[in-house]
Amino acid sequence: IRARVFVSRRIPPKALQMLQAGCDVNCWDSDEPPSRKGYLDSVRGIDALFCLLTDKIDAELLDAAGPGLKVVSTMSVGHDHIDLQECKARKITVGYTPGILTSATAELTVALLLATSRRLKEGMRAVVNGEWGTWKPTWLCGSGLDGSTVGIVGLGRIGIAVAQCLKPFGVAQFLYSGRSEKPEAESIKAKFVPFDDLLQTSDFVIACCALTQDTAGLFNKDAFSKMKKSAIFVNSSRGGVVNQEDLLHALTSGEIAGAGLDVTSPEPLPTDNPLLKLDNCVVLPHIGSATYSTREAMAVLAAENLLAGVRGEPMPCQLD
């Protein structure tokens, strides 16, 4: 018998066709998520779930699905939205999509860093609003990367790729912090330092860490107060690693120079959020992996993970 699969959103057609070839697929055919109730109803009796990073996969949802659910496959590298312990307790295998989105996410992180440090948001607005006036020697100056110190918090695949992208800009030194020293750091000659040292020394502080118990709210009042007044903070990991109240204070009080965020909490960020009014804060709508080819590759890998799981085979990318 064919496995029953729920796909929680419209996904690239190639991945959907792969799933349909082997399974009975119920696809929520919209870019908008189902309501929580709609989600709980849709998972009832399924064997496998194809989900996104915005879907909360917790005990309640797993209970609603029932004991037949054996596979959860997320189209994301991040998996903080999935309760892995609950999955493990139910012997549900979980797949994710590391690796293939690394370069797209690193590229977006660099774009966000440059947009923030070189004040592109203010510049673009000035052109449109007729504030350009004339070429002014001191207008819209920002910090350059040449000769700078870049600190990367969480030197995983994406952190390394960000450093490799930034190196040609003339970065003088890379620092990183995290749970452990990484042999891969050698390729960019990055130095492993305590978190506080990284904050104090870096001109650019980039969060590339996963959201875990250890990193939740890591960038708080204390952390921002240790950064240079000229520091640019960039986050392309998860909004939850930042205390946004504290970031707002750091940006408005001049404790740091600017922040570029591809991720926030909540997402979407309400349009009346004060961060959006600030000249020195650039906010993007979680588009790190959003290239055509990357999104298709993520969906295909998530489909491959799901199909392997359904067959009882090891997934190409399985979490454990």
Q: Report, as residue numbers or ranges, the catalytic residues.
A: 286
Nearer to ligand GLV, 26 or 291 (CB): 291
> Which residue number places its CB atom closest to ligand GLV?
156
Cβ neighbors of 261 (< 8 A, separation 6 or more) are 112, 234, 235, 239, 242, 275, 281, 282, 283, 284
Assigned token pair, 263: 């991720």
Nearer to ligand GLV, 63 or 107 (CB): 107
Nearer to ligand GLV, 103 or 143 (CB): 103
Q: How far is the CB of 102 from ligand GLV (least distance, A)?
A: 6
Nearer to ligand GLV, 25 or 208 (CB): 208
What is the rounded CA–CA span in Å between residue 16 and residue 69?
19
What is the rounded CA–CA span in Å between residue 97 and residue 268?
22
Q: How far is the CB of 78 from ligand GLV (least distance, A)?
A: 3
Q: How far is the CB of 160 from ligand GLV (least distance, A)?
A: 8
Q: How far is the CB of 123 from ligand GLV (least distance, A)?
A: 28
Name the site residues for ligand GLV (rule: CB under 6 A). Answer: 53, 76-78, 98, 101-102, 156-159, 208, 288-289
Q: Are strands 191-192 and 204-207 parallel, antiparallel or unpaired?
A: unpaired
What is the rounded CA–CA span in Å between residue 219 and residue 99?
25
What is the rounded CA–CA span in Å between residue 194 and residue 269?
31
Per the DSSP assignment, residues forming a β-bridge with 71 are 48, 93
